[in-house]
Structure 1
């Protein structure tokens, strides 16, 4: 039997709050993630989102299971420079907004359409502009 090629119909990216809610089995975020996947969207996070969202009480088996279903986008030198440019263009400082900028940078270079689940609509709008549809969680 031949394998069907996955057709990407866009990308769903989760910020820290999106990942936290997915880890805690939040009904709304689980449903939105499942809906996105059913539409052929790839679910992704920035590697830095793991650092921001995970804490001592995060169940490691649950974390590993959730991460196994997400593509984790690495942050290297090129990505850091691009995130820094987003910060400058938005008039924001990396001291407070570094991880948001890395998440935004990852989002703007994904296969479109891109939808981000975030609790930080205002700052993400400054960083992503109209290139990413922001959904409050």
Structure 2
């Protein structure tokens, strides 16, 4: 699972993130993102061909009402406010619904620890 920083670094061909995604795929794992991660991680100057190519290699999880309600519950349980952590909560919710083991590449390990409660492994990128 990649959060916005994970996707940003994958788009930028960051050596560490590319290697981690490749290692996961070699173990039969999927690279997964929340649909909201695209909104958060993709700046206007992004090469659209590169973006489309990277997105073709990941599974994008949609966010509907059920997922929004689950993210809201995660926020309440963690004592966090949606104004700052809404997308993180949707990403955390998506990660928690994946088949185990789940590893998330994230730049915000503190927020994700609060949202996921140690139920997934976090790798800081």
> Which residue pairs with 1:57 in the alignment?
45
- The two structures, once aligned, show a CA RMSD in angstroms of 0.4
Deviations 1:21-40 (A, max 9, x none): 00000000000000000000
| Partner Cα distance (1:33, 1:71) in 2 | 13
Alignment of 1:41-80 (within 5 A): 41-80=29-68
Q: Provide the rounded CA distance (Å) in 2 between the counterparts of 1:82 and 1:108.
A: 10
TM-score scaled by structure 2? Answer: 0.99
Aligned position for 2:24: 36
TM-score by length of 1: 0.91
Partner residue of 1:130 out of 93, 112, 118: 118
Runs of 4+ in 1 over 6 A off after TM superposition: none
Q: Cα distance, 1:16 vs. partner?
A: 0.1
SS of aligned partner of 2:99: coil
CA distance in 2, matches of 1:17, 1:57: 16
- Which deviations, in whole Å up to 9, do the C-alpha atoms of 1:84-122 show, x marking residues without a partner? 000000000101100000000000010100000000000
